[in-house]
Amino acid sequence: MKPTTLEEAVALTQKFTSRPSNEELLRLYGLYKQATEGDNEGERPGGFDFKAAAKYNAWLILKGKSKEQATLDYLDLVEELSNKYM
């Protein structure tokens, strides 16, 4: 099932019957943030907050991707993951 909006895609991820891999979750996170906020302009997390650093990096690597393209990529990824985890 292919979602047509960001909201539908987010709702679909809530219906997964098993948890995607950390790599897949980070891809979802980065694409969602790029689609909704644009380029990551925040400060890099410091210290030993590895989870926050991974999320920061997942978003940062998408710098320059348009919100529209990030949205399309997010929808495609959710469709792919829904076939795998539902």
- Domains of the chain: residue spans and CATH: 6-85 (1.20.80.10)
pLDDT of residue 1: 72
pLDDT of residue 12: 96
Q: Has residue 41 got a pLDDT over 80? A: yes
The percentage of the chain sitting over the pLDDT mark of 70, rounded to a whole number, equals 100
Nearest to 1 by CA among 72, 71, 84: 84
Mean residue pLDDT across the chain: 96
pLDDT tens for each residue of 46-84:
889 999 999 999 999 999 999 999 999 999 999 999 999
